Amino acid sequence: MERTQFFSETAGRTIDVPRHAEARFGIGDVVRHRMFDFRGVIFDVDPVFANSEEWYQSIPEHIRPDREQPYYHLLAENDESSYVAYVSQQNLLSDAEGGPVGHPNIDELFEQFTDGRYKMRRALTH
């Protein structure tokens, strides 16, 4: 399998990535966590795990997801708070029918919520 590399500032190391990783979700998609009670909008995608080893090891082993799958950065919310979450693909489900996300930073990254997803601000696309 062909692989490439990129440097992850969050992980503080170079990440080895399969050349053809397939993400199920895209930027602007609204998702919810499969096991925990929160939902959010995706604002970035890593083709494989690209966070710190300490973060990864803090996940209980019996529910720790595989590193070799896409991981998503979410503007997330639950009933108590809004925050940024980092979630494996296997733990996300589409939640487009759930309506807009109430995270206070939505307007910094996205223009509007239409047809179950957010459109990224034009100034932020390339």
Among 100, 52, 93, which residue's Cα sits nearest to residue 75?
Answer: 100
Q: What is the pTM of this model?
A: 0.83
Among 25, 40, 42, which residue's Cα sits nearest to residue 78?
Answer: 40
Task: In whole angstroms, give the CA distance from residue 21 to residue 95.
Answer: 22
Among 93, 4, 100, 77, which residue's Cα sits nearest to residue 46?
Answer: 4
Q: Is the pLDDT of residue 44 over 70?
A: yes
* 8-12, 28-32, 95-99, 116-120, range with the lowest pLDDT: 8-12
Task: In whole angstroms, give the CA distance from residue 83 to residue 94.
Answer: 19
Cβ-proximal residues to 112 (8 Å cutoff; 6+ apart), any chain: 118, 119
Q: Is the pLDDT of residue 18 over 90?
A: no
Question: Please, which pLDDT band fits residue 122 given cuts at 50, 70 and 90?
Answer: confident
The fold of 3-124 is SH3 type barrels. (2.30.30)
In sequence order, what are the beta bridge partners of 77?
39, 82
The residue extents of the domains of the chain are 3-124
Task: In whole angstroms, give the CA distance from residue 66 to residue 64.
Answer: 7
